[in-house]
Homo-oligomer: A and B are copies of this chain.
């Protein structure tokens, strides 16, 4: 048995959002979602199962992690240990590669890389589809980071058929400009925010139906390489996700004043004929879907208002890589 595995996985930006679980434990989503894997945020992780340690150790960016974080990793590794009939503790070393110190931790790249490394180290050698099912149980959106380009995470009907599938390699003129916006308020975790929305927002049921519709249409738009339609559907879908949070009780909103400023700049760029579309997740950063060939023009406009360090250009990224 090869007891060591090492892998890289990239972050992804959801264009059709995942927001709400129908099964908290198995991480089964209420609706299918779709994302674009990006090249500029990634995680590299090494897993070694060792006989000479009596518990799991987890180092993130060279720093040994405490009990709570390590426990999450251990629980995730248990899935592999159980399937492989393995009774060894592990030393896990993980590093997040992010273009600025500002952060933008990605549980998607984190759990996808961990899954891919554990897959090798445990000798399970699952295929990508199975790996996606495993990654999903670490963090829902990690299911999508197994693949590169445009990826759909099918909600499925049960544990075994809720996985991601690659849709399009995104090798056309597509990019994402990310604007890092500092948060002034303590953020609600996406886990908690999802739960509150599912439990209390009167709009939630409509969201689920509407997201499935959006997914159907964006897949057609991507297949036709219809950039404008892809962007418009993504922007509308993202706004609907934030709408259902405003409907929750108590309501919450991840937007900061600067997030709104970026949305206004995007709309202004469109009026000038530079087609680009914004989307936000469980935080104030704004991701702008654009033509990669126009990404520098968009960055130039943004840095009239923001520090250049806050504006990052991302290209479509690949799927997991075994290192």
Contacts and interface: CB of A to CB of B under 8 A. Distances in A.
A163 interface: no
A294 B209 CA distance: 44
A251 to B, nearest CB: 5
Interface string A191-215: 0000000000011011001100000
Given A246-B246, A256-B260, A185 B251 contact: no
A255 B263 CA distance: 11
Given A184-B264, A256-B260, A257-B261, A203 B246 contact: no
Interface stretch (A31-39, A84-92, A219-227, A235-243): A235-243
A249 interface: yes
A156 interface: no
Chain A contact-residue range equals 20 to 34
Contacts of A258: 257
A247 B245 CA distance: 12
Copies in the complex: 2
A244 interface: yes
A206 B210 CA distance: 14
B185 A267 contact: yes
A45 B171 CA distance: 65
A236 B249 contact: yes
A305 to B, nearest CB: 10
Of A184, A249, A260, A263, most buried by chain B (CB within 10 Å of CB) is A260
B264 A185 contact: yes
A259 B243 CA distance: 17
A246 B249 contact: no
A262 B11 CA distance: 33
A262 to B, nearest CB: 10
Contact of A203 (B247, B250, B260, B263): B247
A281 B7 CA distance: 51
Contacts of A255: 260
Contacts of A253: 239, 260, 263
Interface string A99-119: 000000000000000000000
A241 to B, nearest CB: 9
Contacts of A267: 185
Contacts of A184: 264
A4 to B, nearest CB: 48
Closest 6 CB pairs of A and B: A257-B257, A243-B243, A243-B246, A239-B246, A239-B251, A257-B260
Given A203-B244, A236-B249, 19 more contacts: A202-B209, A202-B210, A203-B240, A203-B247, A206-B206, A235-B251, A236-B250, A239-B246, A239-B251, A240-B246, A240-B247, A243-B246, A243-B247, A246-B246, A256-B260, A257-B257, A257-B258, A257-B261, A259-B260
20 contacts: A184-B264, A185-B267, A202-B209, A202-B210, A202-B240, A203-B243, A203-B244, A203-B247, A205-B206, A210-B247, A236-B251, A239-B246, A239-B251, A242-B246, A243-B243, A243-B247, A253-B260, A257-B257, A257-B261, A259-B260
